[in-house]
């Protein structure tokens, strides 16, 4: 995206933070799980360290959220949640097998 006169000179902290978007919320939780699996760098420590217990906790939270919101989501939100949970579960199993 090319900066416009409206955005030129702005810093990230000057821009409004998005909130209230279900798909974005699920994506943020997914990123937390990927950090826990050591796939993504932890933005605080600048390292990639696997903590499978942490990753499992986030995946369990997403499963709970999926079960509690069933029937209350828009189709695209439900599909996004299912896709994120499924991808994380497959990746978690693969990592778990590699480390055992």
CB of 50 closer than 8 Å to CB of 38: yes
pLDDT, residue 62, reads: 98
pTM of the model: 0.79
pLDDT, residue 47, reads: 95
pLDDT, residue 10, reads: 73
Average pLDDT on 42-61 reads: 96
Average pLDDT on 81-96 reads: 96
Torsion sign over Cα 91, 92, 98, 99: positive
Instruction: Kindly list the distances between the CA atom of residue 65 and the CA atoms of 3, 6, 19, 36, 62, in Å, as whole numbers in the listed order.
Output: 38, 38, 17, 19, 5
| For residue 9, pLDDT beyond 80 | no
Average pLDDT on 56-82 reads: 96
Confidence of residue 70 (pLDDT cuts 50, 70, 90): very high
- Look at 9-23, 31-45, 52-66, 84-98 and tell me which has the smallest mean pLDDT: 9-23
* ∠ Cα 37 77 36 (to 5°): 10
């Amino acid at each position: 995206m090319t900066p416009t006169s409206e955005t030129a000179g702005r810093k990230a902290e000057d821009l409004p933070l998005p909130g209230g978007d279900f798909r974005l919320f699920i994506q943020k939780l997914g990123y937390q799980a990927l950090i826990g699996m050591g796939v993504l760098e932890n933005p605080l420590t600048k390292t990639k360290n696997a903590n499978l217990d942490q990753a499992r906790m986030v995946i369990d939270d997403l499963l709970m959220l999926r079960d509690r919101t069933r029937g209350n989501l828009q189709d695209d939100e439900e599909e996004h949640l299912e896709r994120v949970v499924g991808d994380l579960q497959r990746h978690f199993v693969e990592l778990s097998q590699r480390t055992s």
